[in-house]
Amino acid sequence: MNQKLKINKLYTLSSEKKKFVFNLPLKSSIRIGKRNYPVQLKSDEKFGPYILWKNRKYPVEIVRSRQNRYEILFNDISYTFTVETPFSMQRMKVLDSGKVKSGQETVKAPMPGKIIDVLVREGSAVLRGEPVVILEAMKMQNEIQSPVSGTVIKISAKPNTTVMKDDVLAEIKID
Amino acid sequence: MKIKKILIANRGEIAVRIMSTARKMNILTVAVKTSAEPNAMYLSHADEIFDNTESESEIPVFLDIEKLISIALETASDALHPGYGFLAENAYFAQKCLDNGIIFIGPSPDAIYKMGNKTIARKLALKSDIPMAMGSEGNIANAEEAVSIAEKIGYPVIIKAASGGGGRGMRIVRKAEEMEKMFSIASKEAEIAFNDPSVFIEKYIENPKHIEFQILGDKHGNIIHLGERECSIQRKHQKLLEEAPSCALDPALRKKMGQMAVKIAKAVDYYSAGTVEYLLDSDRNFYFMEMNTRIQVEHPVTEIITGIDLIEQQIKIANGEKLSLSQDHVKLKGWAIECRINAEDVQAGFAPDPGKIEKLSLPSDKYIRIDTGIKEGSTIVSSYDSMIAKLIVSGRDRKEAIKNCKMALDKVWIKGTKTTLPFFRLLVRNHKFQEGSFTTAFIEKDLDRYYYNSEYEEMLAAWFTTKLFVEENLQDKNQGSDNGLKEEMSPWLLNKRITQF
């Protein structure tokens, strides 16, 4: 079965769960209010790849990608997106419906790097701001702190493994 | 005595900066080529290159006193400019230069030593009646002594390393119970960083402004000041943006602080360019902090508002010439702002982000000055600092300088590493910054994020990501491109596959 025939749109999700919907085939314009503004991906010798939008060039770079997940630079700022098809979106919703519970918070990697140490155990009580994981990035050791006070219910971070930006390191049940 | 050839004991933008003035003065320059950066831009500005790439020394050459002296002698350099950092404030190095008949372009070894030791500097300042935060007479021996002094001067207090600088070996103590722990941390940190565990304490000034005065002195006892620089925009004691003048000063306060700066410099018979650093509290009381006995990173903002080339002055003074200016001749005109564009990730706590500069395009205009040691294809190496360029923007007044800065920031194009550009784009749009009412606590306390993106940038980024996904997954690879972009994109898509994991 040729799946691509059925895909009529893509959902591009930011790490803050913002959803951008793009119809396929992908248009070279973006609608804002009632107007369509042309947007182009270009590349030349002087600037390298860039986006042209409203007569201004914005530098773009790909930092890394894994399957449908991309970390890119747009105008010197990093963004992490996952691109979902209607099928994968549907599947995600089903999976998520059993998973996301209120009163829970996740500890995420703020930057890609290597896990040096995990400072808590499943079942440990943590306070807001307490370091949970030591993440090494760019030769600096960073304490990744719990965003909330609560109990650690799951630890996904393993020492000596690498993680991408926004990978979940631990899950905390809020007190 | 006349300087004909200068060995530049430094690298990067400051090496380029010194060489450009030397050229203007018809003085030859020697640069040192290192294995860390054999293709660095500063090398192309030198008249002569000393090749040190074969060196097997563990010590970087710019920190190797014996080696630098031998290079100076071998290349027949009659003078040496240390730039900033490395050995610029090492009294022993300055003395070694003099002992070998090499003119050290900087102050006397004695002045470097006295100002480098904070307890000696404090005593000198006390003797000269320079306003200072209350504190210990000299170094303190233990936490008990620190507590007894703190009780006299009142909390909070700050423990500082006697040989320190740059924020290391400093701890703020807000109550007696914390003293023992903080004393031991500060002392250990000082020992590791400066090879000297001695510390002293001072009353901690809450939320001050960091204001520094540029001074110039000659070997004939003449000392003047060139006004102030506002350096309160700093993070963990690292300056990010500096401006001159400061909107916190009026002519009367400027005169008073300037006179005091000259006075403290006179206490050590200072010559060459130097900087007197003060803290200014919310009641406009100022306190002497320290004196830096070198050219500073942020010297260009002073050059712009005074029209004086500070490197030229340093060389002339080293040559034994008298200052051609008197205090009355110094006029401050206009406003200048310097942004330190570093290879740092502002979204990850300003962590250094070394790497190759793939694309570089810097703006040029009458209100823009760029000091850089980087060109396209250069690599920011982790062994040195992360500076890419200093963007120095001027205007008739502060408002115009900020407006020009905002425009200039959008014209800087750097690819290959993340940079501090998004931070400055945020800063120039921040109300408190525009107003000028910020203090050294600004970045930590007044900002909830460290970068700026305009309204539609995230959406455009999403569109770009979607475009990549479509190109990679949904297009029939055999049919080639239907939008004419495939060809152009292939090299960097390939590059991406290499970095894939």
Note whether A117 and A81 are same-domain residues. no
Pick one of 3.30.750.24, 3.30.1490.20, 3.40.50.720, 1.10.287.3510 as the CATH number of B134-203. Answer: 3.30.1490.20
State residue B271's pLDDT score: 98
Note whether A37 and A7 are same-domain residues. yes
pLDDT at B498 over 80: no
In-domain check, residue A13: yes
Collect all residues of chain B within an 8 Å Cβ-Cβ radius of residue A6.
none
How many domains are there within chain A?
2
Q: What is the dihedral of CA B345, B346, B351, B357, to 10 degrees?
A: 30
Nearest to B358 among A28, A48, A110 (CB): A48
Q: What CATH architecture applies to the domain B5-105?
A: 3-Layer(aba) Sandwich (3.40)
CA–CA dist B268, B133 (Å, integer): 20
* R_g (Cα) of chain A, nearest Å: 20
Min distance B395 CA to chain A CA atoms (Å): 24
| CATH number for the domain running over B209-446 | 3.30.470.20
State residue A138's pLDDT score: 67
* Structure-token pair, residue B354: 């070394």
The beta-carbon contacts of A97-105 under 8 Å, at least 24 apart in sequence, are A103/A173, A103/A174, A104/A153, A104/A171, A104/A172, A104/A173, A104/A174, A105/A146, A105/A147, A105/A148, A105/A150, A105/A171, A105/A172, A105/A174
| pLDDT mean over B131-154 | 91
Min distance B123 CA to chain A CA atoms (Å): 38
pLDDT digits (tens, 9 = 90+) for B383-436: 899 999 999 999 999 999 999 999 999 999 999 999 999 999 999 999 999 999
Asked if the Cβ–Cβ distance from A22 to B418 is below 8 Å, we say no
pTM to 2 decimals? 0.85
Cβ neighbours for B319, distance < 8 A, ≥ 6 positions apart:
B1, B2, B3, B103
Q: Which residues of B are catalytic?
A: 294
Note whether A72 and A15 are same-domain residues. yes
DSSP character at residue B471: I
B457 vs A: CB within 8 A: yes
DSSP string, B177-208: HHHHHHHHHHHHHHHHHHS---EEEEEPPSS-
Residue linked to tokens 């921040």: B430
Cβ neighbours for A162, distance < 8 A, ≥ 6 positions apart:
A112, A113, A114, A115, B501
Asked if the Cβ–Cβ distance from A10 to B470 is below 8 Å, we say yes
In-domain check, residue A149: yes
Min distance A155 CA to chain B CA atoms (Å): 22
State residue A99's pLDDT score: 53
pLDDT at B169 over 90: no
Note whether A109 and A57 are same-domain residues. no
pLDDT digits (tens, 9 = 90+) for B424-459: 999 999 999 999 999 999 999 999 899 999 889 999
pLDDT digits (tens, 9 = 90+) for B62-74: 999 999 999 999 9
CATH number of the domain encompassing residue A113: 2.40.50.100
Arithmetic mean of pLDDT over chain B: 92
CA–CA dist A133, A157 (Å, integer): 8
Asked if the Cβ–Cβ distance from A137 to B463 is below 8 Å, we say no
Per-residue model confidence as pLDDT tens for chain A (175 residues): 444 456 899 999 998 889 999 999 999 999 888 999 999 999 999 999 999 999 999 999 999 888 899 999 999 999 999 999 988 888 887 776 655 556 888 898 888 888 988 999 999 898 888 889 988 876 677 888 888 889 999 999 999 888 888 889 999 998 8
Asked if the Cβ–Cβ distance from A43 to B461 is below 8 Å, we say no
Domain that holds residue A107: 101-174
CA–CA dist B340, B390 (Å, integer): 5
In-domain check, residue A58: yes
* Structure-token pair, residue B486: 């495939």
Asked if the Cβ–Cβ distance from A137 to B353 is below 8 Å, we say no
* Structure-token pair, residue B42: 């500063």
Note whether A79 and A108 are same-domain residues. no
Longest CA–CA separation in chain A, Å: 56
Min distance B65 CA to chain A CA atoms (Å): 28
Between positions 387 and 426 of B, the ones with CB within 8 A of A are 410, 413-416, 418-419, 421-422
CATH number of the domain encompassing residue A63: 2.60.200
| pLDDT mean over B215-240 | 96
Q: How far is CA A27 from the centre of its chain?
A: 24
Q: Give the type of residue at A37.
A: Y
pLDDT digits (tens, 9 = 90+) for B94-138: 999 999 999 999 999 999 999 999 889 999 999 999 999 988 888
State residue B491's pLDDT score: 41
* Structure-token pair, residue B426: 């945020």
Note whether A118 and A53 are same-domain residues. no
Candidates B289, B286, B260; CA nearest to B165 is B289
B354 vs A: CB within 8 A: yes
A86 three-class SS: helix
Among the three residues A58, A88, A118, which one is the final residue of a domain in this structure? Answer: A88
| pLDDT mean over B64-92 | 97
Q: Give the type of residue at B313.
A: Q
Candidates B169, B396, B406, B132; CA nearest to B289 is B132
Cβ neighbours for A68, distance < 8 A, ≥ 6 positions apart:
A82, A83, A84, A88, B469
Residue pair B274/B107 in contact (Cβ under 8 Å)? The answer is yes
Residue linked to tokens 């800063």: B427
All structural domains of chain B with their residue ranges: 5-105, 134-203, 209-446, 457-499
State residue B275's pLDDT score: 98
